[in-house]
Amino acid sequence: MNIAQMMKQAQQMQRKLQEAQTELANMEFVANTGNGAVTVVCDGQGKFKSIKLSKAALNPDNPESVDNDNVEMLEDLISSAMKQATADASAQMESKMKALTGGINIPGLF
């Protein structure tokens, strides 16, 4: 196998990896717990997208006493914290991978 053919195969593999990453980023995975009390959505790359809380999750004895604004505020606070933690973890992983690879961008690692 010559070098030109190896480069062509490497480019094809890189293109396929990028396509797979895009496909995964566009997928959504939904998980429910507590009979629908909490619903979380992530993309195919494992990145947090959203959370929904039922009134019963906040006050199981009297769900109707829970104000919708309070539910939304708590969802927003949890979402912000989850997104920040995910971003921090991703940045740390990217930094460590760059240190290990000497700054070479290897598709699929980060």
Residue 97 CA, chain-centre distance (Å), reads 18
Q: Tell me the pTM.
A: 0.70
Whichever domain contains 51, its CATH number is 3.30.1310
Q: Is 85 within a domain? A: yes
Domain that holds residue 8: 3-101
Q: Is 107 within a domain? A: no
pLDDT single digits (tens) 11-70: 999 999 999 988 988 999 999 999 999 999 999 888 899 999 999 999 999 999 999 999
Give the burial string for 28-63 (b: 16+ CB within 10 Å, else e): eeeeeeeeebbbbebeeeeebeebbbbbbbbeeeee
Q: Is 110 within a domain? A: no
pLDDT at 16: 92
pLDDT single digits (tens) 55-70: 999 999 999 999 999 9
- Count of domains forming the chain: 1
